[in-house]
Structure 1
């Protein structure tokens, strides 16, 4: 590991010098400059990229216990730090190692508050720290980002703070967004010359950050206030009504300094750079599990999307032991590590009361014999009050993970709930997949057993809507995936072009080609990746399934060959000595040339799937081929409308 840290402390208050009002810090490559001004009501900062001003006089402040903000505070010392290190994440995702290279400027104020700015070559982040001890409240945090022009924003418009954050991105100009139009994070601001993805990390014991418009060229941060009273909606076992909120956003009780979340601007000059941006991970809390060696990424055969529609069997399909044994047989055949028992395996309201049609011990035992483990779905509120006992019981039963669903909030209490689930699940060696959740915001680094989460408008929406298009699939990686893993649940084997698509809740389909669905397994990041369709469909489509089952869920290296938001992605990922190469297209047919110069020396065998000649009409049409290639090879590929292309490239064994 390469690790270089230099720190310089200037104690201005005791030096006899006049304390400065303006400060600056640059990225290591000097292309990004942040100027900070402490002379006004709030701390203000500006961001320039390659000498082009992008953010001007943005405001940042934090108010503690009704009185303490930066409006009357003065800087008493300044701390500067330079870091150049290499991080090895326990659960790798984009790459086996991550370079952490930044300049940091910390301003310490006389009210006990500090603000840290970190500037990477890939973006800018800042956070507040307070030395205040004991009990206090956070009344508000000022986050106002002023852009220099009326830029286009990919805006995940929300209706309220009570949300599962599964949105499409609305292309809106800044001045068209008013203060009634709120959005969850992440979002993307397009200056034409640069792309900025705004998100957060290090979110802990604090509410999530949202934004709203100002009808000007600015976005203003807002937070859900603390929930004082809530109740289930009449007739619902999962959806809440928030009856009363506090006036503050958080309460603290601490005997040590408190760090608040990082506000992140991931910056890229071209769309492709966003696909490899790692700031969300780098700014997260460090590993808190002593021995994470039991955490195993992999794939999951999922029951809910396909409504347990298995066929060609001699038992009645449904939520029963025979059906889940069938899932296990399928998973075992293709080396799939897990199956999930989604809604229906327990009596709602009691997460330890198994329904009569399920013999869970038999299912887990049968899976263990076949090399397949079991993950259990639960509603968050059902396990909240007795969390340790319930998860200890799941561990005793032999389950290997939980899928926790329907939180739909990110106020302080709910954020703390996520951390508590992560900690207790780690104690009982259980993976966690959060659904009905907010975006990733740092928990996965501290607790890598939180291996994936939803907070994304995924394939499940095809069961009731028509908006999961190829363009949508080509937007998510540039925005939502910058925040972290997304459990989109790909893998539809019934494929249609948009004109043939229809909504079917129990027999759903994709609005893309077959190969587009296959390529999603390379492009979309989730260390726990679902196979959403019926095992019967996968068994019927053996060639496609055999390929999907070979695609890793974590990677040693990622190379972006070409990418443009909502248009296309051409990406190569390496696992060990094998490369997987994928192309995704939008609803228009397209041709691409791919140079294989990312390969090392030697000869390779390439197995690849391309859209069939009739995929423009019959989207399930595909062609499988083989080709010998090397690092000097160049490929010409054709994508049908809403199409894809995907390959596995393996080094040929030398003959002796």
Structure 2
């Protein structure tokens, strides 16, 4: 690791003059000053273009007091920092963390309370946070509000989802800021729990594009012991203000000094590739607290999961809690249960045959008959299998085949119940050698009245990652708050869902073709996503002729998603028998890597297209993924990312001549050619389509 730090300390008795700091490239300029009434404020410009106009800052405390007014500057500290660090798993083997930092140490006239505001300015963006030092006049305190403003310089094109305190599982809307209106959202969208705040509240990360082709993104990093930040929009002035998610009694956060807020981030560039490829969110988190990370491994897996979504089988054993033997009170099997010993062995055999690391099984444990929608506290115990699922036999069989089992913990939102059972569940995993678990949080939260995005739940999700680390296990959370880079600090937090995943295509209005072109600019900035790609039987009428639902991509695009949507935990989500029908296309899923030495974002435009090339961490192989929205697209890619003076066998999986996401999604073709770094590759993508390419050196 390389570190370089330069520190300058300046003392001020009182300062009204704006203080300026620039990014290392000097293209981004931040100005800070105390406005009227001693209110902290800042502006931000990029290449002399205004990005954020004068915006006020401050924290409000419960009891009609604030940390927002009547401040004076006691001192100013500047730091230049430059390091290179190595992630345990990632899109690249090393990450540069280079920024200029400006800290304002403030004291409040009248109360003598202290608060520092820290700015970090990177080449691709700026971040700030509030710091509360240990002090006599501020110990325990309750935040009633945070007013961090982002007064934008124009009415930008925006990719947004509503400010829902319980779910991020929405398709994105593409409108001007002035046209944002959550009341226009189609609520018949398959989301089971909705808690939309108000008409003009949106979620971060918020991706935007200005009329003069600047790309902006407002987000946050290192959310620890604090609620998630949504954004209040004034559609007339283009002003955004932080909106913290409340707890059950309306408070936002309970803190004790010394402590800090999360980082509030603004990314800006005239090149969309710099936004989508940024590691700023990760850089703003603390380094790994796990000393021995040798047990944290990437995984490619299959599982008993998609068959429930398409209606072939069920999670529950009996179909209803009332399906009981009148004398013994034992549940009566419905005959549709998916998580049986025999079916699981079938998936284990498939995984072993095709070189997959693991098998996930959902619905293995008792409690699924009446769990959903009842706000029931004691649902699952996470240790008791159904009668038709022999835990010991299955794990012994998997071990004999060299396959790892992945545990499933659906909490049903009953977090108190999960925490009570967590150590017993982890001990069961340890007994049978499970390396990882997928957790789920479908439903209303218990403790009752809490939201998924509140401080209590943020603390829970982070606690689970830490507790799994104690047992040297990995966790993949679904229906959690969206990640903000905590996987740097706890790299065993290997992935999360926290957005509208592939399963929505099976039983709802689905994900429009542009959806996957937006996720890398939004959700994926905070950490890897378990999107569950790889669906080959696109139309649900394959399973039931009355169904009209379908995946909104071509088959070739499903392959490309393994490269464009980063995760070190990747699922081949379709049924084994569907892959066996298309073995030539399935070969790409078998070949593609999941942990990377390097990544190159070659083309990027949010809502339209994305092309990414990645180099396998364990070999000299490269993989390329290119995706488009509902419009067909032709492009030409330079292959200069390949090693010079080497020849590669390029296997190209592309849309067929008549392919179309809606009318002919399974039409694909595969071709092979020899290429070098001096070549260009023409990519032809159908509407809703994509291209996947593997490059293997020719010795």
Task: Output the CA distance in 1 between the equivalents of 2:654 and 2:15.
Answer: 64
Residue by residue over 1:378-431, the C-alpha shift from the partner in whole angstroms, topping out at 9 and shown as x without a partner, is: 133241223223222322232221211116612111111011101111111221
Q: Tell me which residue corresponds to 1:610.
A: 654
The alpha carbon displacement at 1:316 in A equals 8.1
Alignment check: 8 A CA contact 1:434 1:452 kept:
yes
CA distance in 1, matches of 2:232, 2:140: 30
> How far 1:637 moved relative to its partner?
2.4
Within the alignment, does 1:370 sit opposite 2:401 as a pair?
A: yes
Aligned to 1:565: 606
Matches within 5 A, 1:456-475: 456-475=499-518
- Range with bigger deviation, 44-53 or 404-413: 404-413
Q: Which moved more, 1:405-414 or 1:429-438?
A: 405-414
1:112 is aligned to 2:110: no
- What does residue 235 of structure 1 align with? none
Q: Which residue of 1 aligns with 2:327?
A: none
- In structure 2, do the counterparts of structure 1 residues 335 and 204 end up closer, same or farther at CA, with 3 Å as the change threshold? same
Q: Name the CA distance, whole Å, in 2 between partners of 1:224 and 1:539.
A: 46
Q: 1:310 to 1:623 in 2, by over 3 A?
A: farther
Map of 1:72-221 to 2, 5 A cutoff?
Answer: 72-92=70-90, 94-110=91-107, 111-132=113-134, 134-158=139-163, 160-161=164-165, 163-177=166-180, 180-192=199-211, 193-215=213-235, 216-221=237-242
Asked if 1:392 corresponds to 2:427, the answer is yes
Q: 1:632 aligns with which of 678, 684, 687?
A: 678
User: What pairs up with 1:51-450 in 2 under 5 angstroms?
Assistant: 51-64=48-61, 66=63, 67-92=65-90, 94-110=91-107, 111-132=113-134, 134-158=139-163, 160-161=164-165, 163-177=166-180, 180-192=199-211, 193-215=213-235, 216-227=237-248, 245-246=249-250, 248-253=251-256, 257-307=258-308, 318-348=338-368, 349=379, 350-380=381-411, 381=414, 382-406=417-441, 409-450=452-493
Find the aligned partners of 2:510 and 2:462 in 1 and give their Cα distance.
33
Gap change, CA 1:275 and 1:64, over 3 Å in 2: same
Separation of aligned partners in 2, 1:504 and 1:59: 57
Q: Which moved more, 1:391-400 or 1:207-216?
A: 391-400
Name the structure 1 match of 2:376. none
Alpha-carbon shift at residue 344 of structure 1 (Å): 4.3
Structure 2: gaps spanning 5 or more residues: 108-112, 182-197, 313-334, 369-378, 446-450
Conservation of the 8 A alpha-carbon contact between 2:461 and 2:480: no
2:496 is aligned with 1:453:
yes
Q: Is the 8 A contact 1:300 1:338 kept in 2?
A: yes
Q: Secondary structure at the match of 1:45?
A: strand
Shift of 1:20: 4.1
Q: 1:636 to 1:173 in 2, by over 3 A?
A: closer
Does the CA contact (< 8 Å) of 1:331 and 1:337 recur in 2?
A: yes
Q: Contact (CA 8 Å) 1:200, 1:262: kept in 2 or not?
A: yes
Residue pair 2:309, 2:506 contacting (<8 A) in 1 also: no
Q: CA RMSD in A?
A: 2.3
For 1:445-496, what per-residue CA distance to the aligned partner results, in whole angstroms no more than 9, with x for missing partners? 1111111001111111012223412211212112222222111111111135
Structure 1 partner of 2:2: 2
Change (3 A) 1:414 1:374: same
Count of residue pairs brought into register by the alignment? 621
Distance (Å, rounded) in 2 between the aligned partners of 1:404 and 1:395 = 16
Q: 2:626 aligns with which of 583, 586, 606?
A: 583
Deviation (angstroms), 1:505 = 11
User: Which range moves more in the overlay, 474-483 or 429-438?
Assistant: 474-483
Return closer, same or farther for 1:323/1:379 CA change in 2, 3 Å cut-off. same
8 Å contact 1:73–1:109 — kept in the other structure?
Answer: yes
1:594-617 deviations in whole A, cap 9, x for unaligned?
221111121111112121223234
What pairs with 1:26-41 in structure 2 (closer than 5 Å)?
26-41=22-37
Measured in 2, the distance between the counterparts of 1:323 and 1:436 equals 26
Residues 181-218 of structure 1 show CA distances to partners (whole Å, capped at 9, x for unaligned) of: 22222111221321111111110111110112223211
Q: Distance in 2 between matches of 1:156 and 1:310?
A: 29
2:657, 2:18 → 1: CA distance?
Answer: 62
Gaps of 5+ in 1: 228-244
Deviation at 1:317, TM superposition (A): 7.3
Point out the more displaced range, 294-303 or 402-411.
402-411
- Contact 2:53/2:152 (CA < 8 Å) preserved in 1? yes
Match in the other structure for 1:535: 576
Query: In 2, Cα distance between the equivalents of 1:530 and 1:455?
Result: 16
Provide the secondary structure at the position in 1 that maps to 2:285.
coil
Bigger mean CA deviation after superposition, 563-572 or 194-203: 563-572
TM superposition score normalised by structure 1: 0.90
How far does residue 303 in structure 1 lie from its aligned partner after superposition?
A: 2.1
> Contact between 1:309 and 1:317, CA under 8 Å: does it hold in 2?
no
Structure 2 length as normaliser, TM-score? Answer: 0.85
Cα distance change, pair 541–533 in 1 and its aligned pair in 2 (3 A):
same
Question: Given that residues 522 and 581 in structure 1 are in contact (C-alpha distance below 8 angstroms), is that contact kept between their aligned partners in structure 2?
Answer: yes
CA–CA distance in 1 between the matches of 2:120 and 2:653?
A: 43
Distance change (3 Å), C-alpha of 1:542 and 1:506: farther
Give SS of 1:582's match.
Answer: strand
**1:260-300 residue CA offsets vs partner (Å, 9 max, x unmatched):** 10001122212222221111100112211121210111112
